[in-house]
Structure 1
Amino acid sequence: MNYKRGFTLIELMVVMGAVLLLSGGAITNYNNYSDRQRVNQAMDTLKNDLRTAQNRALVSQKPAGNNPDPGYYACGQLVGYRVTFSNASGTGSYSTQAVCQNSGVEEPKGDITTRTLPTGVLFNPLPLETTFYSLFRGASPSQSITISGANNTQTVSVSASGNIEEPLPTATPTPIGSTGATGPGAATATPTSTPTATPTPIPTTGDGLLGRYFDTKDLVGNSYTRVDATINFDWGGGSPMSGIPNNKFSVRWTGNVRTTVAGNYEFTGDSNDGKKLWVNGVLLINKWQDGNNSKSATITLSADTSYPITLEYYENKNDAHVKLLWKVPGTSGKVIVPQASLYST
């Protein structure tokens, strides 16, 4: 007699258990992949939003919108765009808003744009607020921003020069495979390491500061740029360049100043008419008024270090001159900041 054997109850239970285990593993793997994707996509969105804030600051895009209140968007001088971060109530989010200077006071202005991170994704640790400054303020503060969730972490770095990028991975030594033999004569694994990228060399001497010359005394309007080796000008009653009037013009110089020794550096601005000086983001000199005047201030700096520097100047009428001097620690007098210490980029 021929007959077909069926599955026993135990065999069916074993098969069903195996199927459940396999499907459970597939679901777990899919969920892990989905979690990683959410963190990666959140980081991509964050980087795009940071670059948008940076670009708006660099082109001095003032806030605008549909609010009927005329003071809501009032922005005499754009300082930059501020980004703040939050993990309030277990939800990660960040907000962007313009910062303006009105009558000498810096204040947030315009609409607040807020973005919420995906569920379960938080800042770790919670970053400090960061501001992408306009050219009138100079370099932005640097920091790293990390988001994490579901055992996945992504980090983006914001440098003082405004670069927004992921940090490069650290090179890990990779040993050559061993034969597994032991004892005398056994092959020994020789460790090798991934070659380290050669850093971009820092110029050994400066080229000066980048000057943007405006045909108004308010740092707006038509502008012309050039690199000035030093800030040591006496134009008298004349014009600094073609396209700029003899009176009622302004200049903004930006770049970096490189120190030689550590200590207290005394910076002096001598001009007719007004000027403002920032070093390393600190407003050292603020003499924004007509007349022939000299103003000095001191700041503590490290040795052999580049610091962002911004000098603003305006000429209203009559004679025009502007000079930037410093007194280096250990020296006896003030001198014009030399070209060798000034970098336009």
Structure 2
Amino acid sequence: MSTLRVTAEELVVHPHPNADALELAQVGLYRAVVAKGAYRTGDFALYIPEQAVLPAALIDELGLTGRLAGGDANRVKAVRLRGELSQGLVCRPAALAGTDLERAAKEGTDFTEFLGIVKWAPPIPTTMSGDVEAASELLPWVDVENLQRYPGIFEPGEPVVLTEKLHGTACLLTYVAEDDRVLVSSKGFGSRGLALREDERNLYWRAVRGHGVPGVAAGLAARLGATRVGIFAEVYGKGVQDLAYGTDVRTADGPPGYAVFDVSAEIDGQVRWLDPAEVFADGELPVVPRLFAGPYGLDTVLEWASGRETVSGRGLHLREGVVIRPAAERYSPVVGGRAIAKAVSPAYLTRKGGTEYE
């Protein structure tokens, strides 16, 4: 899940092809449905992204009572309005009356806390939870921002790799070479520096033990001369999320689905990011499918983001999207960190009965 920031943005306004009283306000590559005439191209307004949870007073002010997602009808989610995908909210809350939004946009001011908006935290099923302990040596993973919010991360023609984004739950494993120790965590717990104590009932421990990940991590640390190795993977299957890829984690005759999407290693005191397809070229661990390698182009990315999944080999259901990264790891000044982004399928965003456990 990407970082939640509520910022002022310059708008580009487009006609709504199916509604005379509506228009589309564009922020980055996102488009949000707005009332016709509310904004003009070049205007500045606040953009509230998906996964934002709004306070009741703001919901009432925006006329959205009972119209947002979640049990409390307070969460911003992608929807289709008269056939057009609307992602996020464009507005000018009364609390910002008199605020120079153009200046705020230039300065990158974040209004999240000021407006009482918080990031949605997915529920944690019992199988993904457990007893935790402090784990300062856990190698962290980073939030991946959406390409549509930050379209300037990659340069046209830059060599990139697109891998399939799986709808599961992120599993973080750190191998500490000094004392042959294994730390396992989820994305949520890992972001707080916590690891899950080993439990055979826990989904993440079932996955790493079932696929022999600790031994592979130890071998990789020895090959690289690394003091720590981080293996980041998606655990998937029926019983994890609504998209199952032909795997059922509830059966006892095999481990949950597991696919590595990132690898890091601490070597000589520096943490380096490695390509899983190269690291595990001999098949020691399953890795996420690589869909495309070549010059970056927005149309290419958006085309690959949609379609059918390839993990099962049978195209059982829709694809969540893709993760884009440069062929050679680099820093991005656009996001202030790794040059990595995701593009999500519109069909995935608007599917019915979807689950979003972290």
Question: Relative to total residues, which structure has the larger strand share, 1 or 2?
Answer: 1
State the TM bucket, normalised to the shorter chain. Answer: under 0.3
Q: Please report the TM-score for the alignment, with normalisation by the length of structure 1.
A: 0.23
After TM superposition, the score normalised by the length of structure 2 is 0.23
